[in-house]
Amino acid sequence: MLAFFMDKDELRELLKGLLPVVQSLPVGLTVADVRIRFLEAKGRVSDKTRVQYEWVFGKLAAYSPFWPRDASEVNRFISSLDGLCDVTVFQLFKCVRVISRYCAKTYGWLDVMVDSERPKFAHKRRRYFNKDEVFRVVNACCDLREKALILVLLDSSARIGELASLRVSDLGDGFITVVGKTGERRYRCDSRLVALMREVSFDGVVFPMKVCGSRGQYVEPVRFSRSDGLSAQVKRIMKRAGLKGAKLGPHTLRHTAASLVAKETMSALAVRAVLQHDSVRTSEI
């Protein structure tokens, strides 16, 4: 309403005052300065995230002690990364983009990543199990708990990290409710497998960890399992089944489930619904 009672010059000045003031980078800004400012302003982060940021700052400091002042310097830095795979370079690029955007928002600096070139990388070919390999993996399971883990990964197509924190209270009638890094999701799951998960659960945890100690092998009554521990368990089962080659792990079962749905329906939307992807573009890959 205020715009109806103001002329163009007054309105322009008002809008200019509302826009954030973007400053150029301080003269002689070093990577060490940005590291201290960013980590202090960022606040509390997980140990894994902090290690990742420290690694990125280390790579930047090894290239130049000064923080890049424009997109061309960022592009030269990305081009200088030798010995790293395409995916790692892309992850490093995204971390630098997060740091630059956060500092621009917090300190009003110029975002040097605005016009930088996004590195390209080729998606690696995914591995899928055939019917014989699936049977070998299932038959290699030593007990019901292992068999339930393999079958749930294959039937629901859930991620191993999502199953690590799965509790009996998350089991529904023909579905499971999980909490992943992007929020709560619900995967369809055969009711017989849901009943099996209730049977093998311990202390309210569906897939508790097996621990080898002085008492022999026992189940640790933890609140939830570690995803890397469950992943290692799946890899041991696959190794026990005699499978060889690259990309042996729980995510291979997820890709196998997706390939079966794709062959049956020929629909990316169906694959998206099964895998619970945020974007159908990810499902099309």
Q: Which fold has domain 131-284?
A: hpI Integrase; Chain A (1.10.443)
**pLDDT attached to residue 267:** 84
| CB-based contacts of 126-129 (< 8 A; 24+ apart in sequence) | 126/247, 126/255, 127/245, 127/246, 127/247, 127/248, 127/252, 127/255, 128/252, 128/255, 128/256, 128/259, 129/252, 129/253, 129/256
Query: Which residues lie below 8 Å from residue 220, measured CB to CB, with a gap of 6+?
Result: 208, 209, 210, 211
Q: Which of 137, 169, 168 is nearest to 153 (CA)?
A: 137
Residue 38 confidence (pLDDT) above 60: yes
pLDDT-derived band of residue 260, with 50, 70 and 90 as boundaries?
confident
What is the arithmetic mean of pLDDT over 154-169?
Answer: 88
Q: Where are the domains of the chain?
A: 20-107, 131-284
Q: In degrees, to the nearest 5, what angle opens at C-alpha 169 toward C-alphas 165 and 175? A: 85
SS3 7: coil
2 pLDDT more than 50: no
Bridge partners (DSSP) listed for residue 271:
none
What is the pTM assigned to this prediction?
Answer: 0.57
State the pLDDT confidence band at 5, using cuts at 50, 70 and 90. low
Average pLDDT for residues 117-146, to the nearest whole number?
84
